[in-house]
Amino acid sequence: MPAEPSSVNLEEWFDRLEDSGYRLTKPLRVVAEVMAKNSYCTLSPTEVYDLGREHYPKLGLVTVYRTLEKLEEVGVIQRVHQAGGCNSYIAAPSGHQHLLICRNCGRVEYFQGIDLTDLVSRVEAKSYYSIQDHWLQLIGLYKSCQ
Amino acid sequence: MPAEPSSVNLEEWFDRLEDSGYRLTKPLRVVAEVMAKNSYCTLSPTEVYDLGREHYPKLGLVTVYRTLEKLEEVGVIQRVHQAGGCNSYIAAPSGHQHLLICRNCGRVEYFQGIDLTDLVSRVEAKSYYSIQDHWLQLIGLYKSCQ
DNA sequence: CGTACAATGAAAACGATTTTCAGTTTCTGT
DNA sequence: ACAGAAACTGAAAATCGTTTTCATTGTACG
């Protein structure tokens, strides 16, 4: 059931950004590439900044923040919530998948095949809430971290 | 399946804190009371600070941070992760329950009766991870926020 | 009751994120 | 191609939440 991190189609990311009216600039490309190449692990803005500067030293940290925001808005990356902090991002898998994260190294796998819609509507029927979203995440240790 | 927020037994909280070697001071009592009285909604450190000062104006924000840390450590409150930020806390329900949060007002219900252990061991068997924890949260709108 | 030490609050330090702003780059229409 | 409008950039400064420091206070234990 766990799946290899879906290899990212960078061109599709760029298409989505353009469709949303964003301009394809050099810094944006650099940040997107960093996120795409590291689609198997979580990265904080500072880590993205450092990796990006290896290819494009002029890159500014402010731009990294702004670009991550755009990438999240168009849905190609997603924020990851962990006990140690909630400022990391990772390439978003296609479709609705759930995260399996290593508490130690931040490595990620996805798993799918879990249908929670049934559960969700049961809970909804018995509560005063209209449920819009759900969030399932498994936390553990990757083999080399055990 | 959703349950009313378990009414909190403050004395039990104090017992747990003492058992862990913490001293029962006035500021700690104030912070604990705030969390206990608001067990149906999430509160940020600043909100706890403001509410606490209504009863005890000398209360310092630093103490709020330190006390929330203690309350979390002994397991009577838990941190809540939301899109808008991950710095809110709420009284922890007894046993393993899952959260249903209103995206708008922060109001919370719990639901239980979902056994994920089966799923977890299936995923574990097919991945390179040893799974230690899981995390399921439903996000929606409470009736008065719809 | 008195002592040891955890806990407190104010101020300062800190790190992460946001705002400001002047200059640059990208895209659009011609 | 090219000019102009608007989006985007990077550096510095401002801001926000959180942590550290430290002198003082309060609590629990003997």
The residue lying closest to nucleotide D27, measuring its CA against C1', is: B23
Closest residue to B139, CB basis, from A86, A132, A139 = A132
How many residues are there in chain B? 146
Nearest to A120 by CA among A137, A128, A132: A132
A80 secondary structure, DSSP code? E
CB A70 within 8 A of CB A17: yes
Q: Given pLDDT bands bounded at 50, 70 and 90, which one contains residue B84? A: confident
Q: Are A39 and A76 contacting, i.e. CB atoms less than 8 angstroms apart?
A: no
Q: Strand D: which bases are under 7 Å from protein Cβ?
A: 7-12, 17-21, 26-28
**Nucleotide nearest residue A57, measured CA to C1':** D10
When computed from its CA atoms, the radius of gyration of chain B, rounded to whole angstroms, is 17
pLDDT interval class at B4 (50, 70, 90): very low
> Closest partner residue to A138 among B103, B134, B141, by Cβ?
B134
Q: Which residues of B32-46 are buried (b: 16+ CB within 10 A; e: fewer)?
A: bbbbbebbebbbbbe
Q: How many residues does chain A have?
A: 146
Q: Choose between A115 and B143: higher pLDDT.
A: B143
A 10 A CB-CB count for B69 gives: 12
Q: Which CATH architecture has domain B2-145?
A: Orthogonal Bundle (1.10)
CA atoms within 13 Å, Cβ hemisphere of A68: 25
pLDDT tens series, chain A, 146 aa = 444 445 789 999 999 999 999 999 999 999 999 999 999 999 999 999 999 999 999 999 999 999 999 999 999 999 999 888 899 999 998 878 889 999 888 889 888 767 788 888 888 998 989 999 888 889 999 999 98
- In this predicted structure, what is the pLDDT of residue A113? 66
Task: Please list, in sequence order, all residues whose beta carbon lies within 8 angstroms of the beta carbon of residue B40, skipping any fewer than 6 positions away.
Answer: B5, B107, B108
Beta pairing class for B77-82 and B108-111:
unpaired
String of DSSP letters for A28-81: HHHHHHHHHHTTTB-B-HHHHHHHHHHH-TT--HHHHHHHHHHHHHTTSEEEEE
Greater confidence (B111 vs B74) lies with B74
Angle at B64 between CA B61 and CA B67, to 5 degrees: 150
Q: Rounded to an integer, what distance in angstroms lies between the CA atom of residue A27 and that of residue A67?
A: 8
d(CA A121, CA A44): 35
Residue B95 CB neighbour total at 10 angstroms:
8
Q: What is the pLDDT of residue B143?
A: 93
The β-bridge partners of A43 are: A89
Q: How far is the CA of B61 from the C1' of D15 (A)?
A: 18
Question: Residue B93, SS3?
Answer: coil
Domain range summary for chain A, segments of one domain joined by +? 2-145
Packing angle, helices B26-37 and B10-19, rounded to 10: 140
Taking the C1' atom of every nucleotide in all shown strands and the CA of B18, the nearest one is D28
pLDDT of residue A6: 54
* The pLDDT of residue B95: 76
Per the listing, tokens 């003492």 go with B18
CB A105 within 8 A of CB A145: yes
Q: For chain A, what is the total number of helices (H) and then of strands (E)?
A: 5, 6
**pLDDT category of residue B113 using cuts at 50, 70 and 90:** low
Sheet holding A129-142, edge to edge: A2-3, A108-111, A98-102, A129-142, B129-142, B98-102, B108-111, B2-3
Instruction: Identify the bridge partners of residue B3 per DSSP, sorted by sequence position.
Output: B110
